[in-house]
Chains A and B, each alone.
Chain A
Amino acid sequence: MAKIVILGAGISGHVAATHLRRKLSKKHEVVVVSPNSNYQWVPSNIWVGIGRMKSEKIYFPLAPLYKKKGIGYKQAKAISFHPEGDSTEAKPYVLSEYVVGDEKGKQEKITYDYLINSTGPKLNFEATEGLIPGKNKAYSVCTYTHADHAWEGLKAVIEQMKAGKKAKILIGTGHAKSTCQGAAFEYILNVEQELRKHNVRDMAEVTWISNEYQLGDFGMDGMLMSYGSLTMKSHEMIEMIFEDRDIKWILGAGVNKIEDGVAHYENLEGEHKSESYDFAMLIPSFSGHGFKAYDKNDNDITEKLFKGFMLVDADYTSKPYEEWSVRDWPETYQNPSYKNIFAPGIAFAPPHAISKPRKSKNGTDISPAPPRTGMPSGITAKLVADNIIDTIKNGKESSHHKGSLGNMGAACIASAGFGFWKGSGVSITTFPIVPDFKKYPDSHGRHLGKTFGAIGLAGHWLKLMLHYAFIYKAKMRPFWWLIPE
């Protein structure tokens, strides 16, 4: 009998837990440890942030589902990792602290045979002075509570515009090393469409601010893609959309300080500038959670497990952009020092960025960190679960299931405006996610047939369908496993 502990119940943690439970007999224990009592379908936060979807539609409580399906659940947060146990506990464990109820503040050593760390990112607002969701007129849509808050802020500004006051709206990245440009991109297009719906578009100046060198970089070094019968660069496509919608842009901007209605930033030229606004939504930088790890003698072994995020089977040798290779990227998400620990989704430490790193003339790093979107988060979680299942069933270590971001496709269906008949979406697929310049030397490292873009109403329908399909799947309704990650 084996005990598998999963830290986090986001996209990757929940996918791992549900697959393990489905495929392993009940004599094996599957336990989820997560501080948030709800599962949330993060991509739909965009619609919560424009008031088009109630936050209750994107989350549901985990405890009843886990109880029904035989998955153990502890509403707690992991604090430290003890992969060899300690002087009083022979088994490896994670020290966790309960966050609610009578047990709040109580710590427990949660032992495991296999550990899946799927704690995602820490939303590192502190890295940008003054960037606090809901303060200084700056908001976030990274969680459903943030998105609810953002909609309140936006609604107030729309009311002011209706009363005749002009407004400046600033959306993008809130740190020189932020990632998740795709989410900000969706939000700016949705906000722009809402302004038109409310007949206040002419009262607003809408500006995109980002650490990208070019529009459409998305932390993926841009894309060369098929667009209808054309082959287009992603920056040309995004420029077309922004110009058509009268959205201005500021690129190569490392936002470093937020004051009430003012964003200060440094650009690649090394200039220090500022941009005023009445409403801003800025994605913070993501970091690891700052977990510590100890061996059985209580010595600090954090560097064996973490480099910010968790160390896995990647090649972390430092090398220049020109020498980066798809082979640097992990395949099994297994920690090299402790083979029973895994980190799928955003929790693993990437070997390096995907976009070309750039510095300002003052030496400040200003370029996107690598994104890890929902689809790869789900796929990597499932393959980790499958390797654990095979290992348990075969009685010997199996790492047969592999999925490098350099040999995996992803679809990003970016909402460009809500509405069943008036909505729109920018559908972009890439294969592979990390460009493989050796395999596809003439198409910027990607397969052109599988890397394409499309704009239109169908994109909105697709995004809406994915919303319902993935919530259905997450609720483990009949035949949920037939829906791919």
Chain B
Amino acid sequence: MKRISPRMRFRMMNPVLQFFKFIILSIKIMVIVAGGHGGTRKVN
């Protein structure tokens, strides 16, 4: 069953668009990973 439209598929596989997506994703992931971690038990 085709659930992904041709337009959406084009966007998913177009190297130029995906290059920008790659940069954005890398930054977003870095923000989450480098964003830190900590405990959960200390009440501020």
A residues within 8 Å of B by Cβ? 240-241, 243-244, 246, 326-327, 329, 331, 375, 379, 383, 402-404, 406-411, 421-422, 424, 427, 429, 431, 436, 450, 452, 454-459, 461-462, 465, 484-485
Known: A244-B2, A457-B21. 15 other contacts (CB 8 A): A375-B33, A379-B37, A402-B37, A404-B41, A407-B37, A409-B35, A436-B40, A450-B32, A452-B28, A454-B21, A455-B12, A456-B21, A457-B15, A458-B21, A465-B26
CB distance from B25 to the nearest CB of A (A): 6
Cα–Cα distance between A383 and B15 once the two chains are bound (Å):
38
B35 to chain A: closest residue by CB = A409
In the bound complex, do residue B29 and residue A429 qualify as a contact, i.e. CB atoms below 8 Å apart?
yes
Q: Which residues of B contact A240 (CB under 8 A)?
A: 3-4
Q: Which residues of B contact A406 (CB under 8 A)?
A: 40
Which B residues from 11 to 44 make CB contacts under 8 A with A? Answer: 11-15, 18-19, 21-22, 25-26, 28-35, 37-41
In the bound complex, do residue B32 and residue A404 qualify as a contact, i.e. CB atoms below 8 Å apart?
no
In the bound complex, do residue A246 and residue B22 qualify as a contact, i.e. CB atoms below 8 Å apart?
no
Contacting residue for B12 out of A411, A424, A431, A461, CB 8 A: A424
In the bound complex, do residue A462 and residue B15 qualify as a contact, i.e. CB atoms below 8 Å apart?
no
B residues within 8 Å of A by Cβ? 1-4, 11-15, 18-19, 21-22, 25-26, 28-35, 37-41
In the bound complex, do residue A457 and residue B13 qualify as a contact, i.e. CB atoms below 8 Å apart?
yes
Contacting residue for B1 out of A243, A407, A421, CB 8 A: A243
Q: Which residues of B contact A458 (CB under 8 A)?
A: 18-19, 21-22, 25
B33 to chain A: closest residue by CB = A484
Q: Which residues of B contact A403 (CB under 8 A)?
A: 37-39
Cα–Cα distance between A90 and B35 once the two chains are bound (Å):
43
Q: Which interface residue of B4, B15, B31, B32 has the most chain A CB atoms within 10 A?
A: B32
B30 to chain A: closest residue by CB = A484
Cα–Cα distance between A243 and B4 once the two chains are bound (Å):
9
Contacting residue for A456 out of B3, B18, B41, CB 8 A: B18
In the bound complex, do residue B40 and residue A409 qualify as a contact, i.e. CB atoms below 8 Å apart?
no
Interface SS of chain A? mixed
In the bound complex, do residue B18 and residue A461 qualify as a contact, i.e. CB atoms below 8 Å apart?
yes
Count: A-B pairs, CB below 8 Å: 94
In the bound complex, do residue A411 and residue B33 qualify as a contact, i.e. CB atoms below 8 Å apart?
yes
In the bound complex, do residue B1 and residue A457 qualify as a contact, i.e. CB atoms below 8 Å apart?
no
**Leading 9 A-B pairs by shortest Cβ distance:** A456-B12, A408-B37, A402-B39, A409-B32, A458-B22, A458-B21, A457-B18, A244-B3, A403-B37
Cα–Cα distance between A462 and B34 once the two chains are bound (Å):
17
Interface SS of chain B? helix
In the bound complex, do residue A456 and residue B4 qualify as a contact, i.e. CB atoms below 8 Å apart?
no
In the bound complex, do residue A407 and residue B40 qualify as a contact, i.e. CB atoms below 8 Å apart?
yes
Q: Which residues of A contact B28 (CB under 8 A)?
A: 429, 452
In the bound complex, do residue A462 and residue B1 qualify as a contact, i.e. CB atoms below 8 Å apart?
no
Contacts A244-B3, A457-B13, A462-B25 known; A327 to B41 CB distance under 8 Å? yes
Q: Which residues of B contact A450 (CB under 8 A)?
A: 31-32, 35
Cα–Cα distance between A266 and B28 once the two chains are bound (Å):
41
Contacts A240-B4, A462-B22 known; A456 to B11 CB distance under 8 Å? yes
Q: Which residues of B contact A431 (CB under 8 A)?
A: 32, 35
In the bound complex, do residue A485 and residue B33 qualify as a contact, i.e. CB atoms below 8 Å apart?
yes
Cα–Cα distance between A407 and B33 once the two chains are bound (Å):
11
Q: Which interface residue of B4, B13, B39 has the most chain A CB atoms within 10 A?
A: B39
The 15 sampled A-B contact pairs (Cβ below 8 Å) are: A240-B3, A243-B1, A402-B39, A403-B39, A404-B39, A408-B38, A409-B32, A409-B33, A411-B33, A436-B40, A450-B31, A456-B18, A457-B21, A484-B33, A485-B33
CB distance from B13 to the nearest CB of A (A): 5
Cα–Cα distance between A329 and B18 once the two chains are bound (Å):
37
A433 to chain B: closest residue by CB = B37
Q: Which residues of B contact A461 (CB under 8 A)?
A: 18, 22
Cα–Cα distance between A243 and B1 once the two chains are bound (Å):
6
In the bound complex, do residue A409 and residue B37 qualify as a contact, i.e. CB atoms below 8 Å apart?
yes
Cα–Cα distance between A462 and B4 once the two chains are bound (Å):
22
Contacts A244-B4, A411-B32 known; A456 to B40 CB distance under 8 Å? no
Q: Which residues of A contact B22 (CB under 8 A)?
A: 458, 461-462
In the bound complex, do residue A484 and residue B34 qualify as a contact, i.e. CB atoms below 8 Å apart?
yes
In the bound complex, do residue A424 and residue B40 qualify as a contact, i.e. CB atoms below 8 Å apart?
no
Contacting residue for B32 out of A424, A429, A462, CB 8 A: A429
Q: Which residues of A contact B38 (CB under 8 A)?
A: 331, 402-404, 407-408
Q: Which residues of B contact A455 (CB under 8 A)?
A: 12
In the bound complex, do residue A246 and residue B1 qualify as a contact, i.e. CB atoms below 8 Å apart?
yes
Contacts A244-B1, A244-B2, A375-B33 known; A331 to B41 CB distance under 8 Å? yes
A456 to chain B: closest residue by CB = B12
Cα–Cα distance between A455 and B21 once the two chains are bound (Å):
10
Q: Which residues of B contact A421 (CB under 8 A)?
A: 15
